Amino acid sequence: MDRPEPNPAPPAGQDPADVHRVRLGRREIVLIGTAHVSRSSVDLVRRTLEAERPDAVCVELDPRRYRAMSQREWWTALDLKAVIRQRQLATLVANLALAAYQRRIGHRLGVPPGTEFLEAARWAEAAGAEVVLADRDVRITLKRAWRRTPVLRRLTLAASLAAGLFERVDLTPERVEELKRSDVLNGLIRELGETLPSLKEVLIDERDAYIAERIRRAPGGRVAAVVGAGHVAGIRRRLIEGRGADLAALEEVPPPSPAARAAAWGVPGLILALLAAVAVRKGAAAAGDDLVYWVLANGIPSAAGALLALAHPATLAAAFLAAPVTSLTPVIGAGYVTALVQAYVRPPLVADFERAGADITRPTAWWRNRLLRVFLSFVLPSIGSLVGTWLGGYRLVHTLFLRP
């Protein structure tokens, strides 16, 4: 279709402070830096696109996040059971937590998070320009961040996210103005990056490289890119320097480290070796007693975790039966079994998905929301199973080396 000619670019130095231009040969890239909960950013995006009339508009979204933001009932296409089977439940809840953090800020400022991205995509669709969802799949980003975080520091990461999720948001007028001029989520990420430098590389640097490459590959002679203010400098630098990026490599989820794999298989192997040693040195009766203890030591705490989650009785039974077995294999944990059973016997209702973003910030609401209770039915039985593994292992060591 015929599209209007772009308005002449303003003279150098007359662009708004958050608009940056990069020349790539005969092509021009217009970077628009935004704050995700700022009305002024939405207005800036609209004005700039109207003035520039680009051939393509890149936005800092991946297809999954775009669908969740643009389709009010995105959860109708979500197969929760498949999410659990693919071990994506923790990632789903992490997404809800990050979205809830932004939503709380956006509610106070009167602008839903990511409105400027939707505005850019809608403008492009109406104007016949190409829409490029330029960000990496958020699930890959979270997985890479988790794998890059040392095991002992993962508790720090989880605690930081939990603190940000449940802390009270008190916004002074000065803080409101600061948030309007900044990228809220990337500000949070940068704070985490100071504590865990590996996170900054995955959440900021890698995404800068990924988005810059997607912008470089966008069609047309004039391309506009709407990205969070925290990404502008990195993306602009990569474009100017002409540094390409291997998108396939950035989309890979690294396998667990050799140490993690060794621990995953080593603990079950050690338990089985100890049980065999008890049978040889102390006799079949002692081994039988320890085996019964193992079953009870794993099953009871895991079932207690399911009980604390107020899970369905079938989930409690699954926890008791699964924990002694899953503790002896790294292939699947007790929590995945109990979460899947809970999702089958108490599937979340429409209202649970609609309220999840708000309920996730209120600890007591987790037990009332069926979706979040599925997550509780994953976490608490998993903790119980972990406790049981240590208790059962100690019993085997005691029998083998300390008992007369």
Distances in whole angstroms, Cα of residue 293 to Cα of each of 290, 390, 391 = 5, 12, 9
pLDDT of residue 161: 62
Q: Are 139 and 87 in contact (CB under 8 A)?
A: no
pLDDT of residue 88: 76
pLDDT of residue 103: 65
Structure tokens at 372: 């979040």
pLDDT of residue 143: 83
Distances in whole angstroms, Cα of residue 263 to Cα of each of 19, 259, 266, 280 = 50, 6, 5, 25
Q: Which residues of the chain have pLDDT under 50?
A: 1-13, 173, 180, 184
Place of tokens 């608490």: 380
CA separation for the pair 361, 103 (Å, rounded): 11
Place of tokens 């077995």: 325
CA separation for the pair 266, 286 (Å, rounded): 23
Query: 117: how many CB neighbours lie within 10 A of its CB?
Result: 27
CA pseudo-torsion sign 361, 362, 364, 369: negative
Place of tokens 């400027």: 116
pLDDT tens sequence across 10-34: 444 456 788 999 999 899 999 999 8
Structure tokens at 25: 């040969």
Segments making up each domain of the chain, as ranges: 19-250, 258-402
Q: Look at residue 27 and give its three-state secondary structure.
A: strand
- Kindly calculate the radius of gyration of the chain based on its CA atoms and give it in whole angstroms: 26
pLDDT of residue 107: 62
CA separation for the pair 370, 113 (Å, rounded): 25
pLDDT tens sequence across 267-293: 888 899 999 999 999 899 999 999 999
pLDDT of residue 138: 83
CA separation for the pair 343, 378 (Å, rounded): 10
CA separation for the pair 299, 389 (Å, rounded): 10
> pTM for the whole thing?
0.73
